[in-house]
Chains A and B, each alone.
Chain A
Amino acid sequence: MNLGYLAYRNMVSKPLNLLLSLLLLSLSVSLVTFVLQLNKQLSGQLNKNIAPFDMVVGAKGSPLQLVLSSVLHIDVPTGNIKLKDIDMLRKHPFVEKTIPVSYGDNYKGYRLLGTELEYLERYNAELQEGRLFQKSFEVVAGHGVSTRLNLKLGDTFTSSHGLVGGGDGHDDHLYEVIGILKPTGSVVDQLLISNLESVWEAHSHEDAEHDESSEEHHDDSHEEHGDQNGHEHEHEDGEEDKLEEDKNLEITSLLVKFKSPLGMVQLPRFINENTSVQAALPGFEIQRLMGLLGSGATTINGIALAILLVSGLSIFISLLKTIRERRQELALLRTYGFHTRQLLGLALLEGVFLALIGFVAGWILGRLGIWILSGYMSATYGYTFQINGPEMIEILLMVTILVLAIIAALMASISIFKLNVAKTLSNE
Chain B
Amino acid sequence: MVKTSSLTYAYGDEQEMVFPDIDLPLGQHLLIIGPSGIGKTTLLYLMAGLLPPVKGNVAIAGKELDSLSRRELDKFRGEQIGLIFQQYHFIKSLNVQDNLVLRQSILKNPIDKDRRHKLTERLGLSEHLNKKVTELSQGQQQRLSIALGLIHRPKIILADEPTSNLDDVNCVKVINLLKEEAEICKSSLVIITHDLRVMSHFQNRVEL
B93 neighbours in A (Cβ, 8 Å): 6, 9-10, 12-13
CB distance B75 to A339 under 8 Å?
A: yes
Contact of A1 among B48, B75, B79, B105 (CB under 8 A): B105
A5 neighbours in B (Cβ, 8 Å): 98
Question: Complex: how many Å from CA A366 to CA B78?
Answer: 47
Question: Complex: how many Å from CA A30 to CA B98?
Answer: 36
CB distance B74 to A337 under 8 Å?
A: yes
* Residue on A nearest B98 in the bound complex, by CB: A1
**Known A-B contacts A1-B98, A6-B91, A339-B70; A425 and B78 likewise in contact (beta carbons under 8 Å):** no
CB distance B89 to A337 under 8 Å?
A: no
CB distance A425 to B89 under 8 Å?
A: yes
CB distance B74 to A334 under 8 Å?
A: yes
Report the minimal beta-carbon distance from B58 to chain A, rounded to whole angstroms: 14
Question: Complex: how many Å from CA A5 to CA B98?
Answer: 10
Report the minimal beta-carbon distance from A420 to chain B, rounded to whole angstroms: 9
* Residue on B nearest A426 in the bound complex, by CB: B41
Residue A335 lies at the interface, judged by CB distance under 8 Å to chain B = yes
CB distance B106 to A338 under 8 Å?
A: yes
CB distance A338 to B78 under 8 Å?
A: yes
Residue B26 lies at the interface, judged by CB distance under 8 Å to chain A = no
Size category, B interface: 20 to 34
Question: Complex: how many Å from CA A10 to CA B92?
Answer: 8
Residue B101 lies at the interface, judged by CB distance under 8 Å to chain A = yes
* Residue on A nearest B73 in the bound complex, by CB: A339
Residue A422 lies at the interface, judged by CB distance under 8 Å to chain B = yes
Contact indicator per residue, chain A 164-196, by CB within 8 Å of chain B (1) or not (0): 000000000000000000000000000000000
* Residue on B nearest A341 in the bound complex, by CB: B71
CB distance A422 to B79 under 8 Å?
A: no
Q: Which residues B116-154 have CB closer than 8 A to chain A?
A: none
10 A-B pairs with C-beta separation under 8 A? A1-B101, A1-B102, A6-B102, A332-B91, A337-B78, A337-B79, A340-B74, A422-B42, A422-B50, A425-B87
Q: Taking beta carbons and an 8 Å cutoff, which residues of A are in contact with B? A: 1-2, 5-6, 9-10, 12-13, 328-329, 331-341, 421-422, 425-426, 428
Closest 9 CB pairs of A and B: A337-B78, A13-B93, A337-B106, A422-B45, A339-B74, A9-B93, A422-B50, A332-B89, A1-B105
Known A-B contacts: A5-B98, A339-B75, A422-B51. Give 8 more (CB < 8 A): A2-B105, A6-B93, A9-B91, A9-B94, A329-B91, A333-B91, A334-B74, A338-B78
